[in-house]
Each structure stands twice: as structure tokens, then as C-alpha cells.
Amino acid sequence: MLKSMKWALFAAVAILPLTASAAELDAMSVKELLPLAQKEGKVTVFSLSSRIAKVEKAFEEAYPGIDLVGIDMSSVKQIARVVAEQTAGVNAVDVLYIADTPVVYEDLVKTNRVVPYIPPRVAGELADEHKTPLLTQRLSTKVLMYNEVANPNGAPVKNLWALTTPEWKGRVLMVDPLQRGELLDLLVEFSLRPDEMAKAYEAQFGKPISVDSDLQGAGEQFVRDLFANDLVLVPNSDVINKAIGDKTAKNPPVGFATYSDRRDNEKEGWALQVANDVEPSNGILFPAVLALVDKAPSPAAARLLIDFMMGDDSATGGPAFEPFNVAGDYAVRPSIKDNADSVPLKELKAWRIDPVKTAAARKRIADLVLTLQ
């Protein structure tokens, strides 16, 4: 009898950590999470960036015995996948590394399909705006990019409205904004900045803007005029980067793309550069966030991964963050220094989106884009 009671007590103690509550797991240190995560043995993340492959290698070296499955997937597809799986009662993914925050906050956070986790190790150094409603890992961009070899004296565009003139007809590129939420957010931001867009119009054309009666402000007029000037929609970022960055091109296009793709210039033979000296802005800054998926199959390993992806305490963030410490990506941890080749964040002429305001205006701009395509 005594022997069986001792075994029962041992078994209860052995399984207690595996049944720790979410609040208990949230409070644990990396050292405390590690043995639980190793028992789970696996963690799955959907990632907006293909750089998750580098994170996977570094994570598995840092934490032997835990298999990181990183799946490169656009934010739009991540949202659809999580909703579909959870509706079907499937819980297969642990972490989302995702942008498209206006939709994420509405469709995933408010419905409790994902929940926030702030690693105790970094909580004290993060601004409140980077901790709610989800953890921001870095700031990314959709900004105007150009070919620096073909334009050695700087960007060929100094005012966004120039993109609506005959000189740039059919020579401005963008990934389809109805397929990539970050590009739709860019168009929404134009619409939310009517005064700045109107001032830039007058600077470009020397007269006040006349806005079509069915539109709400100069930003929406810019979106319409940009499409009317044969805006070229492409299927993915590889197409746009090659078209803009081709070093052999004599008269290359410009386009709204991701500043941090400049990291591949040497490898791909591109000449991508950000057009920073442009009025009234070159595009948007938006958060790339990390979220725990509800009923994650590996809750301890999920938290360990999120902690890891916030980087170590070195100036580069160490192997966990170095894939993202490139020109055009901006860490939110003050201890991590931005890449030396980046335009300093305070000098980058990009608007920082407000996900709540963006979410409220999204449907109207999506409907406008449908009429323009």
C-alpha cells in the first residue's frame, strides 16, 4: 500500500509541470520552461518571413531535443488557416509570426484565437505599445523602392504624386493589395492622411487638388489616380524586387516593396534602395508580432520560441535576431542596435500605422481597389 502511494505521489509530481496553467507558464523563466518544452519535443510556427529557416537552425542548436517546424506563410494565409483549423477543432500550430495586424486584432485577438505572451526576460525594456494587444518583435515596412545603380544621385521620385504622371505610367509596381494585407494597409494609410496628401499634390502640380465627389479626401484620390496610371500589380515580392533591382536595367520601374529585401542585393545581384527623400512619405511602418495560438499543442515550447525570437542581450540580438537585424528592419528592444546600413528609424519618412484606425477604414479601401483593378 505504501509503495503504491509513493508511486502515485511520484506520478503526480512528474506530470504537474505538464499541466501548468497558462498564467504559471507565462511567469516562468527560460530555465523553468526548458524541461517542459523538451518533454513536448516540438513547436510549430507559421512565419511571415522565410528567414524562419535561420531561426529554426539557431533554436535547435540552442535547445537540443526540441524540433522547430517553421512554415513560411503570408499573413493573409495564416489568418485563414488558423480560423479554418480551429473551426474544424484542429490545434496543430503553436505560434504565429505575423503582420496584417488590423485583421489579426479583429479576427484573431478579439475572438481569442490567439493570445498575447510577453516573455518576462524582456518585458521591462519594451514600450507599452509593443506589448499590447500582442508582442511586437520588430517594425517592418512597405515603402517606395528604386534602383540605385540606374539612379546614382538618389531616388528618381521626390513626390508621391509624380507616380500619377505620364512619366511613370505603367512603371510603378506593387504586389496585389487584395492578396497581401500589408499593401492594402499602405493604401489605407494614404486615405487616412488627406491633409498631407493634399499638400503634397499642390507642391507637385502648383494648384489645389480637386477630389472626385465619390471619394473621401486626397489620399483616396491618389489611390484612384495611381491605378489609373496603369499601376502594375505583381503576384509576389520576388517579381517586384527583380524588376526594380535589376542592375542591367536602363530605365527600371519603382515600386512599393519591403525595405529589408535590400539585404539580398549582393546575393541576387539587385540594386534595391529605399526612396527616403520623398513627400509626404515613402510608405508605412507596421509591427511584425508574435502570438500564442489558443490551445497550442506545445505551450511551453511556444513560449520558449517567442522568448528566443526576441533576441539575446547583445547589440545584434544574437543568432535568434540576426536574421532580422538587416537594413530596413527595426528592433523594438532598445538593447538591439539597428543595422548600420539602415536609414535611422527617426529619419525614415514612413508613417507608422494605427491598426485600430486602419481596421476601421479597410473595407472601404478594399472596395475602392476592387473597382479599380
The mean pLDDT of 204-214, rounded to a whole number, is 98
Residue 152 sits in the same domain as residue 275: yes
Residue 127 sits in the same domain as residue 203: no
d(CA 118, CA 113): 17
What is the band of 8 on the pLDDT scale with cuts at 50, 70, 90?
A: very low
Q: What DSSP element (H or E) covers 342? A: none
Structural domains in the chain (count)? 2
Residue 64 sits in the same domain as residue 161: no
Query: Which pLDDT score, from 0 to 100, does residue 88 have?
Result: 97
Residue 146 sits in the same domain as residue 263: yes
d(CA 350, CA 309): 25
* Alpha-carbon distances, residue 151 vs 60, 147, 262, 344 (angstroms): 43, 6, 16, 22
User: What amino acid occupies position 219?
Assistant: G
Asked whether the beta carbons of 264 and 258 are under 8 A apart, the reply is no
Asked whether the beta carbons of 178 and 370 are under 8 A apart, the reply is yes
344 located within any domain:
no
Query: Which pLDDT score, from 0 to 100, does residue 87 have?
Result: 96
Query: Which pLDDT score, from 0 to 100, does residue 19 have?
Result: 65
Query: Which pLDDT score, from 0 to 100, does residue 343 have?
Result: 95
What is the band of 20 on the pLDDT scale with cuts at 50, 70, 90?
A: confident
13 located within any domain:
no
Residue 121 sits in the same domain as residue 145: no
Query: Which pLDDT score, from 0 to 100, does residue 3 have?
Result: 39
Domain with 259, as residue range(s), is 140-285+350-372
Residue 145 sits in the same domain as residue 163: yes
Q: Report the SS3 class of residue 26.
A: helix
Q: What DSSP element (H or E) covers 203? A: helix 194-205
* Widest CA span in the chain: 94
Residue 185 sits in the same domain as residue 260: yes
Query: Going by DSSP bridges, is the β-strand pair 172-175/254-257 parallel, antiparallel, or unpaired?
Result: parallel
Residue 299 sits in the same domain as residue 194: no
pLDDT in tens, 48-95: 999 999 999 999 999 999 999 999 999 989 999 999 999 999 999 999
Grid coordinates 471619394 are at which residue? Answer: 215
361 located within any domain:
yes
Give burial (CB, 10 Å; 0-12/13-18/19+) of 370.
exposed
Q: What is the mean pLDDT of the chain?
A: 93
d(CA 30, CA 121): 8
d(CA 246, CA 149): 9
Grid coordinates 537594413 are at which residue? Answer: 327
Q: What DSSP element (H or E) covers 181? A: helix 181-191
Global pTM reads: 0.87
Asked whether the beta carbons of 42 and 69 are under 8 A apart, the reply is yes
d(CA 267, CA 175): 22
9 located within any domain:
no
Query: Which pLDDT score, from 0 to 100, does residue 316 have?
Result: 95
Residue 71 sits in the same domain as residue 112: yes
Residue 201 sits in the same domain as residue 326: no
**pLDDT exceeds 60 at position 127:** yes
Q: Where are the alpha helices (DSSP H) in 63-145?
A: 75-87, 101-103, 120-123
pLDDT in tens, 350-370: 999 999 899 999 999 999 999
The mean pLDDT of 164-190, rounded to a whole number, is 96
Q: Phi first, then psi: give them for residue 168, nearest 5 degrees.
A: -110, 15
107 located within any domain:
yes
217 conformational bin, left if phi > 0, alpha if psi -120 to 50, beta if neither: left
d(CA 28, CA 245): 46
Asked whether the beta carbons of 102 and 362 are under 8 A apart, the reply is yes
* Alpha-carbon distances, residue 58 vs 53, 68, 251, 365 (angstroms): 9, 10, 41, 40
For residue 235, the domain's CATH number is 3.40.190.10
328 conformational bin, left if phi > 0, alpha if psi -120 to 50, beta if neither: left
The mean pLDDT of 300-304, rounded to a whole number, is 98
d(CA 338, CA 36): 34
**pLDDT exceeds 90 at position 1:** no
Q: Where are the alpha helices (DSSP H) in 229-284?
A: 237-245, 265-268
Residue 58 sits in the same domain as residue 157: no
Q: Report the SS3 class of residue 331.
A: strand
15 located within any domain:
no
277 located within any domain:
yes
Residue 181 sits in the same domain as residue 226: yes
66 located within any domain:
yes
**pLDDT exceeds 60 at position 18:** no
